[in-house]
Amino acid sequence: MEETAQGIDVTAGLVRLSFLVQEIYARVSERHDLTPVQAKLLCVVADGPRGMADLANHFGVERAALTGLVDRVERRGLAERTAVPGDRRALHVSPTETGCQAAFAFKAEIAAELRKLVAGLSPGLAEHLREALAQIVGAYPQGCPRGHS
């Protein structure tokens, strides 16, 4: 990663941006009395119930590790596991009302904090960034391919 005459190269910029976003995410999580992974879980299940296997895949962890995470948020009254009709071994994870409120508040604060990162950009530059991000993220709709993360 090297610096260029115009600043940093794309790779260095993406790495630095990733670190900034992770720092913001961790700071906001702490303000909401959540770990970053608990906040992520709440945000994921706030969009709709998810199966344990699906969540384990989404988080890139074994089901046992996910079970521990779900146990912790469940003990806090933020999520609950419910049986899947027709499959007595499968469970869905859903947010409780308190969990939905926590996810909504967290998402709102994260959005406000991230907007501050780009607040100084000109409208044209902000639009170019939006287009570039859409293209990059759109190329990997399910996250980074294995071996590239």
pLDDT tens track for 79-120: 999 988 888 788 999 999 999 999 999 999 999 999 999 999
Q: Where are the domains of the chain?
A: 8-113
**So what's the pLDDT on residue 8?**
80
CA dihedral 90, 88, 95, 31 (to 10 degrees): -50
Residue 78 CA to residue 90 CA, distance in Å, equals 20
Residue 35 CA to residue 31 CA, distance in Å, equals 10
Q: Does position 3 have pLDDT exceeding 60, yes or no?
A: no
Choices 1.25.40.10, 1.10.10.10, 3.40.190.10, 2.40.110.20: CATH for 8-113: 1.10.10.10
**Residue 135 in tokens:** 């293209």
pLDDT tens track for 24-74: 999 999 999 999 999 999 999 999 999 998 999 989 899 888 999 999 999
